[in-house]
Structure 1
Amino acid sequence: MNKQKRHEIFTRLRDDNPNPTTELEYNSPFELLIAVILSAQATDVGVNKATRKLYPVANTPEAIYALGVDGLKEYIKTIGLFNAKAENVIKTCRMLIDLHSSEVPDNREALEALPGVGRKTANVVLNTAFGHPAMAVDTHIFRVSNRTKIAPGKNVNEVEQKLLRFVPKEFLLDAHHWLILLGRYVCTARKPRCGSCLIEDLCEYKDKTEIGGD
């Protein structure tokens, strides 16, 4: 895929959705961090249902830490892997209190040192909370990048590095949101809905379908 085609792809995605953001609900960097930790192998819809009950009660490191592991589990037990996530969130809250004055750190190394925070989670927080041009490659972005040939790669790290290299700079800040939404709602795993895709004529996927919107 050439540079001009990539530029046109992201121009169309931007024109269609000029201010994309995560579908996770949050009102502070801390709320976003906790929501992203909870979202691993879970849906944003499921996480939002839980945090709508949790955050009015506890939305600071001190308040969630005070709930304790068992108290937190009551709010997140509908989310997959909730036992491990509760342990990680409580440990993360303790570290934020002890090491970061209860603030979410604005750098990758400190974020990735928090329990339950890997590279993808750190990238989401750096991008969405702090405006860094980071690329959080999830299953949707991995699929879309390979299928369209925007940034093909054998693993998430390879796709991440290629996206950072190939996506025109003017689009880097929002690119991962556009690609997630494209993968979640149009370029779906089993049957991509090519017939209703904004970039169908630019995409280099060989087995296009006629499927459009519902």
Structure 2
Amino acid sequence: MNKDIRTEIFTRLRNENPEPKTELNYSSPFELLVAVALSAQATDVSVNKATDKLFPVANTPEAIYALGVDRLKGYIKTIGLFNTKAENVIKLCKQLIDNHNSEVPDNREALEALPGVGRKTANVVLNTAFRQPAMAVDTHIFRVSNRTKIAPGKNVLEVEKRLMRLVPKEFLLDAHHWLILHGRYTCVARKPKCGSCLIEDLCEYKDKTSD
């Protein structure tokens, strides 16, 4: 796949959705950080159901830390791995209070030093909250990148680095959202909806469907 085809792919995705957004509900960098930390191995829908109840009650590091682990679990118990996530979020809040003036840091090193925050979570926060070029490669983006051949790679980090290098610069800020939404609704895992895909003619997937 060459630069012209990649440019056309992202031009079409942008034309269809000029201002793509995350499907997680949030109103501050801290709310986004907590929501993304809770979303590992869980759907955005399930996270939103929990945070829609949690955030009106507690949406600052101090307020969530004051809840404590057990009360926080009560709000997030419908999310997978909620025990570990509750402990990590409480520890994360304490570190934000002690080390960052209760503010979410806007750099990768500081974000990844927080409990429960890995590279993918840091990338989401950097890109979505702080509008920095970053690529959070989840299962959807990994699948779309390999299936279409936009940026094939054997592992998540390889795909991330290739996307950062190969996505034309004018699209880099929003590419993460376009790819994730395309994988979530069109280029789905079991049977991609090639028949209704706006980049089908540019995609290099060999086993296209008629749906």
- Give the residue type in structure 2 aligned to 1:87: E
The aligned residue for residue 11 of structure 1 is 11
Question: In structure 2, what is the equivalent of residue 133 of structure 1?
Answer: 133
In structure 2, the residue matched to 1:177 is 177
Query: How many residues are aligned here?
Result: 211
The 1-side partners of 2:3 and 2:63 are apart by: 48
Q: Cα distance, 1:174 vs. partner? A: 0.2
TM-score, normalised to structure 1, is 0.98
Distance 2:51 2:11 in 1: 34
**1:147 match:** 147
Question: CA-to-partner distance for each residue in 1:149-194, whole Å, 9 max, x for gaps?
Answer: 0000000000000000000000000001000000000000010000
1:164 and 2:139 matched: no
In structure 2, distance between residues paired with 1:22 and 1:117: 18
Aligned equivalent of 2:190: 190
- Asked if residue 71 in structure 1 is aligned to residue 71 in structure 2, the reply is yes
Question: Identity of counterpart residues, as a percentage?
Answer: 83
Q: C-alpha separation between the residues in 1 aligned to 2:81 and 2:55?
A: 19
Listed as ranges, the matches of 1:194-205 within 5 Å are 194-205=194-205
* 1:46 alignment counterpart: 46
Counterpart of 1:118, as a letter, is: G
Counterparts of 2:190 and 2:161, CA distance in 1: 26
2:201 alignment partner, SS class: coil
How far off its partner does 1:21 sit? 1.0
- Residue 77 of structure 2 corresponds to residue 55 of structure 1: no
Distance 1:196 1:73 in 2: 41
For the aligned residues, what is the CA RMSD? 0.3
The structural deviation recorded for 1:200 is 0.3
Separation of aligned partners in 2, 1:106 and 1:200: 37
1:117-136 residue CA offsets vs partner (Å, 9 max, x unmatched) = 00000000000000001000
Which stretches of structure 1, 4 residues or more, deviate above 3 A after TM superposition?
none
Q: 1:14 deviation in Å?
A: 0.2
Q: Which blocks of at least 5 consecutive residues in structure 1 are unaligned?
A: none
Name the structure 2 match of 1:29.
29
Q: 2: distance between equivalents of 1:133 and 1:20?
A: 14
Letter in 2 for 1:166: L
